[in-house]
Structure formats: structure tokens, C-alpha cells
Amino acid sequence: MFTGLIEEAGVVRNVERGPDGTQFTIGAEKVLDGTRMGDSIAVNGACLTVTALGRDAFTVFASRVTCEVTTLGSFSRGRRVHLERALSFSSRLGGHLVQGHVDGTGSVTGVKKDSSGLEITIAAPEEIMRHLVARGSVAVDGVSLTVVSLTSGEFVIYLIPETLKNTVLAELKNGDHVNIETDILAKYVEKMLRGEKDGGERDASLMKKLMEGGFA
């Protein structure tokens, strides 16, 4: 589990592609502190397991499926990527709960800069859009952000100076693809409302109680 608060921007140093997936070696500093083999690090929002550690770099492996459903399949040497270590029990939750399980990718359709920050419009498929709400949470390339507004097939995010300083989102341009993970709470609520899992009657009862209590 992650927070969506990026610890640093690392640099892809090596890419080794194979039939079953791709191995990435990524240069970093902060995320190496206390990291051990087998630990999880989110790379542009995708949770990956550390398979090797060096003095100033680490190696992870992304399966073929992961490369297909995220932007990782297009990574090449020199690319800057967002890095975040998994939450510990002593961590402060400053963003929102992010699983590191990317739901899919979106495409940047608009970039507008003003005196305070940067507004970015992203087109996304329906299976992602249905889990987004205005002023709700979304992770874009692993960064915890607030959805400013929604239209049919697109949503808008706004990057404040602090976010621009600590991420590489300022480098996005029209046509670029990004990883998107929607809020896990939205997925659970949809599941409960549709009553598609075992114990559907129990879920309906819970939803009734939540509604009676003013929580839904």
C-alpha cells in the first residue's frame, strides 16, 4: 500500500526485455534507504518487487501483463520515473490509499499553465471514468491528486507548485500516456451496489444501514 506522495524521481538506467516481462534498473537515492530485497517500490504508480540492490540503484521485474496494462512497456533508458516505497506502520498518510495496482492508462489531451500551477486534462476509458468523482482522489503515474472536474471520457487535475517541484508531471504534453489508479473505495462501493459478490444480501443490508446513517 502507498500514499501517492512521491519520494523522488529516479532515472531508468537499463532495460532488459524478455518473453515473460521486462527488468528495469533504476537509479535512485531516497528510496534505497532501508530498502531490502523483496521490498515493494511503486514505479510510476505500479507496485514492483525489488530483485537486486546497488549503492545507487535498484532492479525490479515487470511481468508481460504489467507492461501491457501500464506505460512501463514503453520505458527506455534515461526516462525519469516517480518512486515511492510501500507504507510502514509508522508512516503518515498524507495522500490517499494507493494500492499500486494500475487500472489502466489515459492520454493527455490538454495542458494549460497559469500563474499558480498546471491544469492537465486526461482522456480515459469508461471502466476508469466510472470510478472517478469531482473532488475525489485519483493516482496519476503514482501521484495522489484530486479530480477537479469531469466530462464525458475526460477528467481534469490541477498541479500546485509543490507537486510540480516534486514530480515529473510538468513534463507531460498532449498525447503522452499515463498510468491511472482510481480510489479503491469507489470500487468497493460499486461492488456493493451491484451486489455481485458472495453474500449479496449481506452487502445490501450494510448499504441500507449506511444510508440510514447518512453515510451513503
Which range is least confidently modeled, 15-24, 60-69, 94-103, 204-213?
A: 204-213
pLDDT (tens digit per residue) in 109-158:
999 999 889 999 999 999 999 999 999 999 999 999 999 999 999 999 99
Distance CA 185, CA 189 (A): 6
pTM of the model: 0.85
Question: pLDDT tens digits for 178-208?
Answer: 999 998 877 877 777 776 555 555 556 655 6
Task: Give dist(CA 109, CA 213) in Å, integer.
Answer: 41
Q: What is the mean pLDDT of the chain?
A: 90
User: Which range, of 27-31, 34-38, 91-95, 118-122, averages the lowest pLDDT?
Assistant: 91-95
Q: For residue 71, give the DSSP letter.
A: G
96 — pLDDT class (breaks 50, 70, 90): confident
